[in-house]
Chains A and B, each alone.
Chain A
Amino acid sequence: MSTTTLSTPVSRRDFIKLTGLAGGGLALAFYIRSGGEASAAERGSSDFTPNAFIRITPAGAITIISKQPEMGQGVKTSLPMIIAEQLEVPWEAVTIEQGDFDAKYGSQSAGGSNSTPNNYDNFHRLGATARTMLVEAAAQTWKVPASECRAVNATVVHSSGKSLSYGQLAAKAATLPVPAEGAVRLKDPADYRLLGKRFPQVDSRKLVTGQPLFGFDVKLPGMLYAAYEKCPAFGGKVVSANLDQIKRMPGVKDAFVLEGNGIVKELVPGVAIVGESTWAVISARRQLRVTWDEGKVAEQSWNSYVAEARQKAAGPGDKVLRKDGDIGRAFAGAAKVVEAEYLYPFISHASLEPQNTTAQFKDGVLEIWSPSQNPARNATAVSKLLNLPEEKIKIHLTRSGGGFGRRLSSDFAVEAAAIAHRVNGAPVKLAWSREDDLRHDHYRPGGIHFLKGAVDAQGRVTAWRNHFFTFGEGGSPGSGGSLSPDEFPGRWIPNYQAEQTMFETGWPMGPWRAPGSCVFSWVIHSFIDELAHAAGRDPLEIRLELLGSQDEKPGSGGPRSAAYNVARMRNVLKFAAEKAGWGRKKYPKGSGAGIGFHFSHKGYFAQIAEVTVTREGQLTVDRFISVGDVGAQIVNLSGAENQVEGSVVDGLGVLLMQELDIERGRVVQSNFHDYPLIRITEAPKKIETYFLKTDYPTTGLGEPAIPPVAPAICNAIFAATGKRIRQMPLTKTDLRWS
């Protein structure tokens, strides 16, 4: 909604030194060389293709390749905007093409909100390098110094007024050497024409008219359709199936068993049905009868883990994650001690487009069309499984109907590849049903935190203990189930102890939008509120005191450790409070405001919710304020705001209703009737988004805005009703008051 400039006391250079943040992604030299056709003339083409991402034809057609997978996070628009900005071409004149999976593009994994920080600087240089070459081509044509020429609107203009279009210069530019990095000048951000403004997604027209874009929309000549039935209990194997009966059904071409390769994120055992249409396959599947060997995972249930955790809560954790000071002494000498259990269930990604992939094995080559966030992983997995060299695997990236981390796994692509390999010849589209998607997700792990905190007579937080129960396999927690020793408020509270006890399960887990952060922030900021209340302190004031006056908190080392720029957090927090009128505004009973903040994925976010709860317990989020600091430049303001608003709605939806029951090693829910998602009627009435512009590197927005959403809302519910929410989802708590 608004971008505000703010300077922070720690300079960018200091920050880079402290965090090593500048080194994300591949070296520029790789991109500058990669796919570049400086010798295009030798190849007989007069197109100007200075690198793998830019193509300008003599007819003046300008194409920018988008290498990252697009799943709604907007990178197909925002990243090419960076190149177009430096290239000095009008945005309307550019055609954006989705790149296939290809080593010349470098990493094409879209996850961890890394697409922007890993490519930002390089993409500026790619565009600027091409512009420099076009200017040089004009200067040579006119026999004038390049310094007398400038690029504007896909044209090079000389100080005398004469000009040549990029198309006219393409053939000449294609013969020039790529200039050294030092010879390329980047634009002054004050001169940006595109960055920071709002642009609709480049696929907008296709999206609103229903043109094919998604994996589910792929259609190839002679294409067959497939379904893949897996054991409802995780890890189960096929004993037998009525394959002969299925094969005789109308429209069915084949039915067979796949053994699986023992890797849950690649291929688990199941029964494939291949047919002439989606409906033929769905109809046949209804008659499929499989006898499963369910295995030992079928003995594991969520409720028994919760009961076990409650028994063990007071005892020591299996592992001490962090230990500072002496919590025992601090608790003994505290003015007030608060204890609470916080619990959140397993949930699903539930991207609206179910998992799918189309694959074809023909003449020894396996071709894949997949809505993947991580095509490289698919290539490796398929290569190993089918014993094919990677050069015999061709991967096309389609648009994804939502990702949220789910499509970093390879299972749906590997299943399709294995089925197509067996079919041998025809292309096969594997489409998961909603039920498949919900019951064979790689879930966000649930968790239970037993917290104990202390405040002293001055109301300062003096001690914090967290016994965290998590889930994992092979001795380590699933993705999103690891609590960093540096997680706030570790490093801040003098007596701090975090312990972990892990349950070994065979339940598949995977990264879910802001893994870990998306739940830890709720636990931590809800509990800070409890301590504030116990101490009789204002929730904002106690947080500012806790953050302290130091500007920078160095990481304490280790793989999950990161420096924390306290100054940036204080600034977003204060700005949010000001926007909300914190402390000045009075709310009637049943209404109130709550606050939360979180640093993750390189972004600093503070959020404030204003809610109303009716006497009957009906919750409305009246107003939701997000303030983020993701560095020096918002790329596409429209996309950026969309990510933040979407995060707010997503965070609220998770809090309101998302919950899976896992019983006997399988998910009980099956579709949106028993696993509801948030609807428009439950969305906040108003969302305000502010970005503070700082001197730091530009970073991503897919994730960092979601973690503080749930605590801000729960703290507001407490302010409104006096009811503390210690369990997700909200359906577990009676919100009625009188």
Chain B
Amino acid sequence: MKYTLNINGQSRTVDVAPDTPILWVLRDELDLVGTKYGCGIGQCGACTIHLNGVPTRACMTPVSTVGRMKVTTIEGLAAEADRLHPVQQAWSELDVAQCGYCQAGQIMTAAALLRDNPKPSDDDIDGAMAGNLCRCGTYMRIRAGIKRAVELNAGGKEATQ
């Protein structure tokens, strides 16, 4: 089946089976490999993307259900190419990652949290991030990274490098 999708603001057409999770469409068909496979059953959050801005598990989302919804992946999170979203900037500054495999998913979840709740409490942060596993145990830095992103946002400082 042919599907025309709205991926990171671009129109992309793919020819795949209707039950193909959007995760594999992104990775295999569109070469957007930032969205990761960790479990395939909605448990780890490594595959988190935004559908119309809502954090969504790409491994559980068949391509046939996506329609015209806006798909945002880690590659398209920053408003402009060559810039970083404040969450990406904060993650980079604080060296949040260890292996980094979970971090695209963490960043996508954190970005959605901050859009809806620009000044989250500690409990808000833990609550919002509870669906994203980090096997390396970077949770302390994830909390710090979100707080740093809050500062970057408040400063109105559009992140650069």
Give residues in A with beta carbon < 8 Å to B: 71-74, 198-201, 203-205, 207-214, 216-217, 219, 225, 250-251, 277-280, 283, 350-354, 399-403, 431, 433-434, 638-639, 642-643, 645-650, 653, 671-673, 677-681, 683-684, 687
Contact = CB atoms under 8 A, between A and B. Distances in A.
Contact of A277 (B24, B134, B136): B24
A668 B37 CA distance: 22
A349 to B, nearest CB: 9
A48 B18 CA distance: 55
Contacts of A251: 17
A283 to B, nearest CB: 7
A71 B98 CA distance: 8
A402 B101 contact: yes
A209 B34 contact: yes
B140 interface: yes
B132 interface: yes
B135 A351 contact: yes
27 contacts: A207-B103, A208-B88, A212-B33, A219-B31, A277-B20, A279-B20, A351-B135, A352-B102, A352-B133, A399-B100, A401-B36, A401-B101, A434-B38, A639-B95, A645-B137, A645-B140, A646-B98, A647-B137, A649-B137, A672-B38, A679-B130, A679-B139, A680-B139, A680-B142, A680-B143, A683-B137, A684-B140
Interface string B21-49: 10010011101111111111101101000
Interface string B134-156: 11111111110000000000000
B134 A434 contact: no
Contacts of A198: 95
B102 to A, nearest CB: 5
A677 to B, nearest CB: 5
A466 B34 CA distance: 49
Interface string B106-149: 01000000000000000001110111111111111111000000
Contacts of B84: 208-209
A214 B127 CA distance: 29
Contact of B137 (A201, A208, A210, A646): A646
A402 B135 contact: yes
Nearest to A199: B95
B140 A649 contact: yes
Per CB-CB distance, the 6 closest pairs between chain A and chain B, nearest first, are A210-B34, A649-B137, A72-B99, A401-B101, A210-B74, A72-B98
Given A680-B132, A683-B140, A278 B95 contact: no
B126 A680 contact: yes
Contacts of A650: 136-137
B100 to A, nearest CB: 4
Contacts of B132: 680
Contacts of A283: 17, 19
B66 to A, nearest CB: 15
Nearest to A70: B99
A223 to B, nearest CB: 9
B16 interface: yes
A639 B94 CA distance: 11
Contacts of A208: 74, 84, 88, 91-92, 97, 103-104, 107
B80 interface: no
Most central of B46, B127, B137, B142 by chain A CB within 10 Å: B137
Contacts of A210: 32-35, 73-75, 104
A217 B33 contact: yes
Nearest to B106: A680
Given A352-B36, A645-B137, 4 more contacts: A200-B95, A208-B88, A214-B36, A434-B41
Contacts of B27: 278
B98 A642 contact: yes
B100 A203 contact: yes
A185 B136 CA distance: 38
Given A209-B74, A400-B99, A402-B136, A642 B141 contact: yes
A653 B91 CA distance: 23
Contacts of A671: 39-41, 43
A457 B92 CA distance: 58
Contacts of B34: 209-211
B140 A687 contact: yes
A656 B6 CA distance: 42
Contacts of A213: 100
Interface in B62-86: 73-75, 78, 84
Contact of A71 (B29, B99, B103, B140): B99
B47 to A, nearest CB: 11
Contacts of A677: 133, 135
Nearest to A400: B99
A563 to B, nearest CB: 31
B20 to A, nearest CB: 5
A673 B60 CA distance: 14
A350 B17 contact: no
Contacts of B38: 352-354, 434, 672
Contacts of A399: 99-100
Contacts of B32: 210
Contacts of A653: 137
Contacts of A687: 140
Contacts of B28: 225, 277-279
B130 A681 contact: yes
A230 B141 CA distance: 38
A81 to B, nearest CB: 13
Nearest to A210: B34
Nearest to B98: A72
B143 to A, nearest CB: 7
Contacts of B134: 352, 680
A209 B91 CA distance: 10
A419 B126 CA distance: 43
A279 B20 CA distance: 6
A200 B129 CA distance: 22
A679 B28 CA distance: 29
Contacts of A352: 36, 38, 44, 46, 99, 101-102, 133-136
Nearest to B100: A207
A171 B41 CA distance: 57
A406 to B, nearest CB: 11
A671 B20 CA distance: 20
B149 to A, nearest CB: 11
A649 B139 contact: yes
A320 to B, nearest CB: 38
A344 B19 CA distance: 41
Contacts of B135: 350-352, 402, 677
A247 B159 CA distance: 51
Nearest to B102: A352
Most central of A208, A279, A431 by chain B CB within 10 Å: A208
B128 to A, nearest CB: 9
Nearest to A651: B137
A283 B143 CA distance: 38
A672 B97 CA distance: 21
A428 to B, nearest CB: 14
A201 B16 contact: no
Nearest to B142: A680
Contacts of A204: 91-92, 95, 97
A401 B137 contact: no
A638 to B, nearest CB: 4
Contacts of A643: 98
A539 B34 CA distance: 48
Contacts of A217: 33
Most central of B21, B39, B74, B101 by chain A CB within 10 Å: B101
B130 A680 contact: yes
A280 B24 CA distance: 10
Contacts of B98: 72-74, 402, 642-643, 646
Contacts of A207: 91, 97, 100, 103-104
